Amino acid sequence: FIFLAGLFWVLVFLFPKPIDSQTPHDQRPKGFPQDVSFWLADAIPVVSNFSNILTAFILGLGVFSLVRIHLMRVAKKQNDWPFSVVLLVSMVAMATFGYWDWKTRLDLGGAKVDEAWPLAAYGKDLLFDGMLQVMEAAMFSLIAFFILSAAYRAFRIRSVEATILLCAALIAMLNLMGAVVVTWDGMIESFGKDNAFLMNFTLSSVAGFIRDNLQTPGIRAIDFGIGLGALAMGLRLWLSLERVGGN
């Protein structure tokens, strides 16, 4: 099944797009490629709907598995079972108020919700905007300290490569500080008004050189390697070569 599903989307990508249906029949090219293109175009909505149905079933299976695991943890009072209670209550509350708000907007036509703000909208706004987004912001704020600690350890000068990384990162960070850019560039411009070569050492020029000639090619090389790895993994999954569970 995985092979057939992957083969369908590969054919959709490889085969030429069908011509416009308004083109006169006597001007339409005929042959196997054109027939396959029309068949693929007609099959895309059906396959997409089938994929959406499978996605819904998979989502339901995931929710069932999550609820079963945490209910067993609460029933047996295993380690950290209060966190399982919080997770289950939060999931039920989010789903309830989210569906209730969606149903209310559907009944009121959407535009009238702002005029008559119902309880469902208050609950959804409190849970999603007042709690979820605030907790996400707090979590990313805590992660920032770990990122700072990791950057400090990475930027310690231990080798030539670390020194180059430190210098490039320092220039990139200083280029984002307006006061530093204005001060340094102004000093360079005052000394090198008639010297075009000296003007290349402004902070914005150096940062632009690093970004265009070092950073961008490096990122493209990394993306290219990630793409090759994703392609290899996709082919293994498509051809059922990737085994799960030691089988």
Q: Decide if 246 is inside a domain.
A: no
What does the pLDDT look like over 70-87, one tens digit per residue?
999 998 888 888 999 999
Q: Decide if 245 is inside a domain.
A: no
**CA dist., res. 95 & res. 132, Å (int):** 13
φ, ψ for residue 136 (rounded to 5)?
A: -65, -40
- What's the structural domain count of the chain? 3
Q: Decide if 207 is inside a domain.
A: yes
Q: Decide if 212 is inside a domain.
A: yes
**Pair 235, 162 in one domain:** yes
**Pair 64, 126 in one domain:** no
End-of-domain residue from the set 154, 171, 191: 154
End-of-domain residue from the set 96, 130, 154: 154
What does the pLDDT look like over 188-203, one tens digit per residue?
888 767 777 777 888 8
**Pair 209, 134 in one domain:** no
**Pair 162, 132 in one domain:** no
Average pLDDT value for residue range 205-211? 88
**Pair 70, 103 in one domain:** no
**Pair 150, 172 in one domain:** no
Average pLDDT value for residue range 46-53? 89
Measured from the Cβ of residue 30, the count of other Cβ atoms closer than 10 Å reads 8
**Pair 145, 165 in one domain:** no
Contacts of 235 by beta carbon, 8 Å cutoff, 6+ apart: 241
State the alpha helices, DSSP H only, in the chain. 2-14, 32-76, 81-108, 119-124, 133-154, 160-174, 178-191, 203-210, 216-238
For residue 60, is pLDDT > 80?
yes
Average pLDDT value for residue range 181-187? 85
Q: What is the CA radius of gyration of the chain?
A: 29
**Pair 233, 162 in one domain:** yes
**CA dist., res. 164 & res. 27, Å (int):** 62
**CA dist., res. 217 & res. 25, Å (int):** 49
Please give the pLDDT value at position 226.
Answer: 94
Domain limits at 1? 1-20+28-78
